[in-house]
Amino acid sequence: MPLLPRGLGRDLLERVKERIKREVGLTPAAPKPPARTTTERLMRIREAVTADPPKLLRALYQAVDAAGPTWRELEPYELVYNNPDDPATPNLYAACEKEGWKIELFRLSRFHDIQLTDKTFAPRWPLVIRTQL
């Protein structure tokens, strides 16, 4: 007996598989173009934090000790304006899945892209996103 009933095309099967992936959070629902500017990155972070419940971010980040940028899942917690080299650009405190969900400091200038996912999280600490942009 075939897995697909007669007349049911592979195209429909692929669309169903993609929808299931989106609904369980395996892929972003509608990927946006890369967030190239600091303002675009800040808007995506703000969107994740203000969602109810808050959403995880998927970020392409260039670490200091890494050969190239890597994708990470982040729980955003706080934007702070404490960068002595560039006081107008904030840094992001976020929990990172690569480090066992411990809180780390991320420089916005080292992000190559930030995407909003459909996955939600229960904050372990208060979320602090200041109104300054």
DSSP 12-75: HHHHHHHHHHHHTTSS-SSPPPP--SHHHHHHHHHHHHHSSS-EEEEEEE--TT-SS-EEEEEE
Backbone angles phi, psi at 43, to 5 degrees: -65, -40
Helix, coil or strand: residue 34: coil
Tally the residues of the chain: 133
Residue 86 backbone phi and psi in degrees, to 5: -145, 85
Q: How much is the pLDDT for 74?
A: 94
Single out the residue of 61, 103, 108, 64 nearest to residue 82, CA to CA: 108
Q: What distance in Å separates the CA atoms of residue 48 and residue 42, rounded to the nearest whole number?
A: 10
Q: What's the pLDDT score for residue 133?
A: 41
What would the pLDDT profile of 2-26 be if each residue is shown by its tens digit?
Answer: 555 555 556 676 777 777 776 766 6
3-class DSSP state of 7? coil
Q: Which own/partner contact pairs does 83-86 have at CB distance under 8 Å and 24+ positions apart?
A: 83/107
The model's pLDDT over 99-133, given as tens digits with 9 standing for 90+, comes to: 788 899 998 889 999 999 989 999 888 887 654 44
User: What's the whole-number average pLDDT of the chain?
Assistant: 81
Q: Which amino acid is it at 113? A: D
Average pLDDT over residues 55-84: 89
Q: Is the CB of residue 91 less than 8 Å from the CB of residue 80?
A: yes
Kindly report the backbone phi and psi dihedral angles of residue 76, in degrees, each rounded to the nearest multiple of 5, phi listed first: -75, 135
